[in-house]
Amino acid sequence: MRSHPVRRLCVPLAAVLAALLLTGSGPLAEGRSRTTVPESLSADLDRLFEDQRLTGAQASALVTDTATGQVLYRRSPGALLLPASTLKTVTAAAALELLGPGHRFGTDVLAAGRHAGSTLEGDLVLRGGGDPSLLPADLDTLAHGVADSGITTVSGALLADASRYDGVPLGPNWAWDDQAAYYSPQISALTLATDTDYDPGTVRLTLTPGGQAGLPAAVRLTPQEAPVRLSGRIDTGSAGSERSVDVGRQPGTNDLVLTGSVPSDGGTSEEWVAVENPAEVSATVFAAALARHGVTVRGQVRAGRAPADAAVLAHHDSAPLSALLVPFLKLSNNGIAEHLVKEIGRVRAGSGNWSAGLDQITAFVHRNGLDVTPARQADGSGLSRHNLMTTQRLCQLLEFARSRPWFSTWYDALPVAGDPRRMVGGTLAGRLRGTAAQGRLHAKTGSMTGVDALAGYLDRPDGHRLVFTVLLNNFAGAGPRPVIDAFVLRLLGDRTRAAAGGHPGRAPHGWD
C-alpha cells in the first residue's frame, strides 16, 4: 500500500489519542466520559459480565461511536485473549489491502514434453495456483480444454504440482484430533472443494436413510472419483430417533470409518471430511475428467513440478477475492483464510508459507498504526490457540477499515444478524432474529471450546454507527453467548431484554 504523507504524520498522534481514550487516562477521556456516556449504560453492561456463566472466565469489551470517536464502554481493552474467528477480520483486511479485491487464483494444465500427433510424449501437469474454490466442474472444464488442444494420449504421468505453497499442511497448534474435520483442512496450493461453500481439501458424503429401521443408510461420495476408501456403516434408526453420525479418518490415510445412525424419517443429510494429501486427490479427480473427455494418461498420478519450459494447455481463474470474501466471512471458512495468508506470502514476499504471509500481515498492521497493543497472530483463521488479540486492536482495525476503498466489500461480507439467507446472515442468521439488532448488526463471530467472541458494527436507530468487540475466554459449562447478544441489545437501548439475558437464538453448527 502507498501511504499518504499526511497519514504517516497523523498515525502516531491517533495512536496516542486512542491509547488515552481506551485506557481511560487523560483529560479528554475523562471529559467525554462525564458528559456523553450515560452511567446507566456502563452499569448495565457491567452487570451482564457478572453472569454466572462467566464465573472464573476472562472478559474484554470495547465500544466506540464512529461519528464522535467517543468510547462508550471499555472493559479490560488491553487484555490478550484468544480471538477465535474474529481474527479473520485481520486476515480479510490484509488480503484486501495487499492482494486487492480483484485478485484471482489461477489453475493451469501444462504439457511437459513434445507433441507427436495426438500424443503428448511426456507428462501432463495439473499446477495449482492456491485456489481454495476449485470445484470438480472446473477440473472438467480444464480436461475439456486439454481435449480441445488435440491431445488424446499422454505417454507419461499426471503430475500434481502444488509447489506454489510450501509443503506444511497444518497450522501451529491445530488440534491433532480435528484432522478429519472440514474446518481443519490440509492447506495445499492444489486442492479441491465440493460445493460453493468452498471448504478446500474436503470430500462430501451424502447419507440417505434405508427403507426401514435396521437397514444401512446409503452413502454417496462427492467427488465420486476421489481416492477415498469407506469402511463401517451408518445405520437407519427408528423414526424420530437422534442423528448420531461420526466419520473418522485414519491418520495419514484417506480411509474413512463410518459409525452411527440416521433417523428413518430424517431425509438426506451431508458430512464433509478433510482429506489427506489434497493435491493427489485433486489430480486423481482430474484424471477421471480427462478420461471422460477421451484423454488417456498411461502413467500414474504422482507429485511433481512443471518444468520451466512446459506449455500451458488450459487455464482456469477463480472468482475475484471480493466475491470469495462472502463465503470466507459469512461462513467463517478456515481454509480460505489460510490460503489467503500463504498467497499474501507468495505474492508480496515470494514465499508461499505461513511465516512469510504473517510477516506481511504484521507489516501491514504496523504501517497503518493498528498495533496499538501487543498481539500474536499464528494463522489466518483463528484456529490456533497460539493466537492472542485485544479488543482495542480489533476495534482499531474495524475503524481503520471504514477509511479504505474496499470497505463496502468488507462490510457486506460480514454476517448480518437475523437474516435467514445463508449468504447474508451467515453465522449470525439464527441470532438476534426478531430483535432490534436484526439487520443492524454486521459482525464477525468467533467460537471454539472455552471461547466466544463478536466484533463488528452496530447501527443504532439514531443514525450513529458503533464499532465494538467482545472477547470471552476460559469459561466452563454453559456457553455465555446470550451475554454477548444481551450486550448488543443494550447498546441499542433494549434494557428489558438485555436484563433478561438477551435473545439466545440458534447457535451456528460447528466451529466458527
| Active site members | 85, 88, 332
Give CA 409 to chain center in angstroms. Answer: 16
Grid coordinates of 203: 470430500
Q: Would you put residue 66 in left (φ > 0), alpha (ψ -120 to 50) or beta?
A: alpha
Grid coordinates belonging to 347: 505474492
CA gap 342, 409 in Å, rounded = 21
SS3 for 66-131 is: CCCCCEEEEECCCCCECCHHHHHHHHHHHHHHHCCCCCCCEEEEEEEEEEECCEEEEEEEEECCCC
Q: Are strands 451-459 and 465-473 parallel, antiparallel or unpaired?
A: antiparallel
The closest alpha carbon to 316, from 485, 104, 504, 477, belongs to: 104
Cell representation of residue 98: 495487499
Spatial neighbors of 428 by CB under 8 A, at least 6 apart, are 415, 416, 417, 418, 419, 441, 443, 445
CA pseudo-torsion sign 474, 476, 479, 482: negative
83: exposed, middle or buried (Cβ count in 10 Å: 0-12, 13-18, 19+): buried
End-to-end CA distance of the chain: 30
Q: How far is CA 283 from the centre of its chain?
A: 24
Q: Are 468 and 484 in contact (CB under 8 A)?
A: no
Distance CA 379, CA 434 (A): 35
Cα 201 from Cα 273, distance rounded (Å) = 8
State the amino acid at position 106 in one-letter form. Answer: G
Which residues does residue 230 pair with via DSSP β-bridges, in sequence order?
256
Which single residue is written with the C-alpha cell 483463521?
Answer: 381
d(C-alpha 163, C-alpha 484), whole Å = 43
Give the C-alpha separation, 134 to 100, whole Å.
Answer: 20
Q: Look up residue 258 and give its three cell numbers.
A: 463410518
283 — phi, psi (to 5°)?
Answer: -65, -35
Phi/psi-derived region of residue 286, left when phi > 0, alpha when psi is between -120 and 50, beta in every other case: alpha
Cell of 425: 446472515
Minimal CA–CA distance to 218: which of 208, 227, 231? 208
